[in-house]
Structure 1
Amino acid sequence: MGENGHKALAVKARMIYSQRLKQTLEASCYGQFVAIEVDSGDYFLGSTPLEAIKNGKAKYPEKAFHVMKVGYKAAVLLKRWRVKW
């Protein structure tokens, strides 16, 4: 899957999340990770991104997933570290 494919997957997944899943998941699964399979609209939860993907791959081994953290804008936070040599 190329860069455009990844972007399209993310856009579809965010739409599914905001239109169908957000209200329910944020009320009961806040802080968990959700892996969304965009063709079916199915979603899979986990306490880590890897767990959510593994749960999805059990049903859809050949599919790609978009992972989000329920109730957060980003799934992970990347910080810049300074290294002194």
Structure 2
Amino acid sequence: MKTSPITNWENVDAYFTFGPASFGMWLSLVLAVVMIGMLIITMMRHEQHSFKETADLYPSIQEELKGSWDPEFMIPVKVEGIN
């Protein structure tokens, strides 16, 4: 079985399986783009889910904080040009 295109292995420094504009390079590029796209889509879904979950919980958290928050204990902050 002769599968190698090289007939003489003398003075061969490197043998590359696929080079520029070959099927292997295009396949690698497409796979990388698909993986990055799936990563971005997964991150967007996670952020939307987390935001919705937090927005659903916010009214109950806001009611809990109404009774315990006292503006008397706020630390005064002086901002130059405003105060």
Normalised by the length of structure 1, the TM-score is 0.24
Normalised by the length of structure 2, the TM-score is 0.25
- Larger proportion of helix: 2
- Larger proportion of strand: 1
Higher relative contact order (CA 8 A, sep 6+): 1
